[in-house]
Amino acid sequence: MRRSMLLIFVLTAGLLQAQNNLITYSEPQEVAGVTISPTATKVVIISPNKDLSLTHSMGHERGELVGREPNGEYRYELTHNLNEDEQDDGFCKTTVTVSVAQGSKSSALVLRAGKCYMGTFEIPFKFSCVDESNDKAVYPYEGKAKVSFTSEEADLQIKFNGTTVVEDGKPLQSLGYVEVQVSKESGNSGLTVYELTFDTNSEAAGTSQFKRPTFGLRSSFSNTLEVQLREGAQLNAKTMFKYRVLLQLVETVIKTKKVLTSATMQLMLMPNKPRKTGSLLLLRDSINKL
């Protein structure tokens, strides 16, 4: 049993280290030339990750999402109002913790009165796309076809067969046979709708590339996602296609828990004698699954 528990501990440590290595983090540093109230101190975290938690150990304050940076990343701010003792000392000693569901980082900091500190935090994510097209849907305009993408990202870049038609969330009328419109979804201002309307009477519409196009989607801090029409579908007159673009975080923690749970249960069920060899093989196989 002791050997089994030791192997579980080694496995846990290895998997958590792999998860930890995915996080890119720079601990908050004082921002030169930026001052705030002399009775407070502020921590700012810049991150592409949503639903980020920002807390510290010496107060009840929590970070708030205050906006987005010019490059599309999110800005979280935590302001700590110094108590009387901290005001007399001119600083606060605290541990700042930045976390999302998939991982966290902490820093022991000395935050000085009237100063602002800034750091960064990122767990990588990737685009995915869900085809929400209705096979029976008809676009009710002669000589036209429409493809739309709905996303929480307001700064998408979209390419049609390699030509950029949307840049930083703004339409480019770079192709004479493609009209682009960008707007907020009705009833949900948090979603942006990118609509591409195609002239199916144009000369380009007769080509196989037009009928079976490749769309390239990218935001300012993500991988490029290639989207093609479903098998057998073509961009013809009165056709319409609808896609929902999602950002998915790397599923390292979920994978870690599944592998660890599987390894733990199998180790516990193994008979005493073969446990040494079996445990080592299980450890090897579990790590290879990552």
Per-residue pLDDT tens over the stretch 119-175: 999 988 778 899 999 988 999 999 999 999 999 888 899 999 999 999 989 999 889
pLDDT of 236: 96
Kindly give the pairing relationship between strand 144-151 and strand 240-249: parallel
Domains of the chain: 24-122 (2.60.40), 125-249 (2.60.40.3070)
Q: Report, as ranges of residue numbers, the positions in the chain whose pLDDT lies below 70.
A: 1-21, 220-222, 249-290
pLDDT of 269: 58
pLDDT of 125: 76
pLDDT of 11: 53
pLDDT of 22: 74
pTM: 0.60
